[in-house]
Amino acid sequence: MECTEQSWLSNEQYLRTLARKAAAERVPVAGSMAITHRCNLRCVHCFLGDEAGHERVTRRELTITQIRDILDQVVAAGCLTMLLTGGEPLLRPDFGEIYRYARQLGLLVTVFTNGTLVSERDIGLFAEMPPRAVELTMYGATAATYERITGVAGSFARFLCGFEKLLRAGVHVRLKTMLMTWNAHELRDMQSFARDNGVVFRFDAGISPRLNGDHAPLRFRVAAGEAIAFEFSDAERIRGWRDYVAKRNIPPVKDTLYECGAGMIGFHIDANGWLLPCQMAGRYGYDLVAGTFAEGWQQAMPAIRQQKADETLKCRACEKRLLCASCPACSALETGSETVPSEYICELGGLRYERVFNAPETGGYDE
């Protein structure tokens, strides 16, 4: 007999409900792991940069045995999704073993890669045990631009080869780029490339300082007005932002500094075994080589939720914060303080707010 009163949640509704319940009980359902900080490219804007000045990098990257043990622990704690990233994760000769183990544990796995090292063995692995997605970074639409940014001759052709291998194998592929002064003139060509190949494309203008405190990458930021003009280049995207705002009320004013999921439902593990609330919040680290994930999650990670936003933090009551990507951890890298936001990120948020509420429904912003 069929039930006529069943009500099924959409995927989006289900994930929101799950996230709310996980946050209420502090279940670490969403994790990311950098299995190496090494990379075969030398991108001018990379936030990892020279790790010599990074206080946590005092030993070699985790072994396959240590990674398996940590994956066992995070699954036991309730983790459902795992992002494998780097550096360039495919540089590890045991990447396949790591990926297979994570999938066998039942994790929904996404892989971030530059795509230049995709092998037939990787393709076979993804065909056998499909990832949630493989997301490739595209630094430009031409070899000249791509290789100016990556610093490696021939890397554009290798990227295209890896991308085509994944597509032919039917792997769920996504593309992204970091919008910067060196590739902004090719953004629309990158968007067209993705559209012609039937894959999702996204870009981000929020270049950050390096984790060692080096501000050199900031010189590649495009002007905020230019970035927002790209972001709102068509009426569909404007409607998408307005729909986003309609479904999410402006959060009430709180005294907590961090309002994201870091340390609540999300975590990051770096290549040297440090558990962090997120990739950028290095000051809250816990050493998983010396302790367990459960200890770190219960004893160390709550510290980020205990940080308070004082009355001087202008973000607290800002009506534009729902559309702003301001992050205390990123602010600390740029301004030296978690409570002093980046002026550039604030400008992006303000311009985005104006476009969402004041831009016309039709007619894009293409120049």
For position 356, what pLDDT does the model report? 84
Q: How far is CA 101 from CA 23, 97, 177, in A?
A: 27, 6, 29
All structural domains of the chain with their residue ranges: 27-222+259-306
The pLDDT > 90 percentage for the chain reads 65
Question: Strand 266-269 and strand 274-276: pairing?
Answer: antiparallel
Distance of CA 112 to the CA centre of its chain: 9
Q: Which residues contact 332 (CB under 8 A, 6 or more apart)?
A: 283, 338
Average of per-residue pLDDT values in the chain: 88
51 has a pLDDT exceeding 60: no
Helix (H) or strand (E) holding 173: strand 173-178
For position 339, what pLDDT does the model report? 87
pLDDT tens per residue across span 99-132: 999 999 999 999 999 999 999 999 999 999 999 9
SS3 string, 32-43, reads EEECCCCCCCCC
Band the pLDDT of 345: cuts 50, 70, 90. Answer: very high
8 has a pLDDT exceeding 70: no
Q: How far is CA 244 from CA 195, 248, 251, in A?
A: 23, 6, 13
For position 286, what pLDDT does the model report? 95
CATH code of domain 27-222+259-306: 3.20.20.70
Q: Higher pLDDT residue, 242 or 203?
A: 203
Q: Classify residue 13 as left (phi > 0), alpha (psi -120 to 50) or beta.
A: alpha
Q: Provide mean pLDDT across the span 93-98.
A: 98
Q: Provide mean pLDDT across the span 68-86.
A: 97
Q: Which of 33-42, 48-57, 335-344 has the lowest mean pLDDT?
A: 48-57
Band the pLDDT of 249: cuts 50, 70, 90. Answer: low
Q: Higher pLDDT residue, 60 or 31?
A: 31
For position 258, what pLDDT does the model report? 85
Q: Please, are residues 183 and 176 in contact by the beta-carbon 8 Å criterion?
A: no
Helix (H) or strand (E) holding 30: strand 30-34
Half-sphere exposure of residue 157: CA atoms within 13 angstroms, side-chain side: 3
For position 11, what pLDDT does the model report? 65
Q: Which of 84-88, 251-255, 297-301 has the lowest mean pLDDT?
A: 251-255
Task: Please give the Cα distance from 83 to 112 (Å, whole number).
Answer: 7
pLDDT tens per residue across span 254-284: 678 888 888 989 999 999 999 999 999 888 9
Helix (H) or strand (E) holding 286: strand 286-287
The DSSP-derived string for 156-185 is: HHHHHHHHHHHHHTT--EEEEEE--TTTGG
* 3-state class (DSSP) for residue 156: helix
Q: Provide mean pLDDT across the span 143-157.
A: 98
Write out the two tokens for 354: 């104006």
57 has a pLDDT exceeding 50: no
Band the pLDDT of 367: cuts 50, 70, 90. Answer: very low
Q: Which of 26-40, 153-167, 325-339 has the lowest mean pLDDT?
A: 325-339
* 3-state class (DSSP) for residue 189: helix
Q: Provide mean pLDDT across the span 281-293.
A: 94
Band the pLDDT of 10: cuts 50, 70, 90. Answer: low
For position 172, what pLDDT does the model report? 97
For position 151, what pLDDT does the model report? 96
Q: How many CB atoms lie within 10 A of CB 64?
A: 15
Q: Provide mean pLDDT across the span 292-303.
A: 94
For position 251, what pLDDT does the model report? 63
Q: What helix, strand, coil percent values describe the chain, rounded to 5?
A: 45, 10, 45
Q: Provide mean pLDDT across the span 8-22.
A: 69
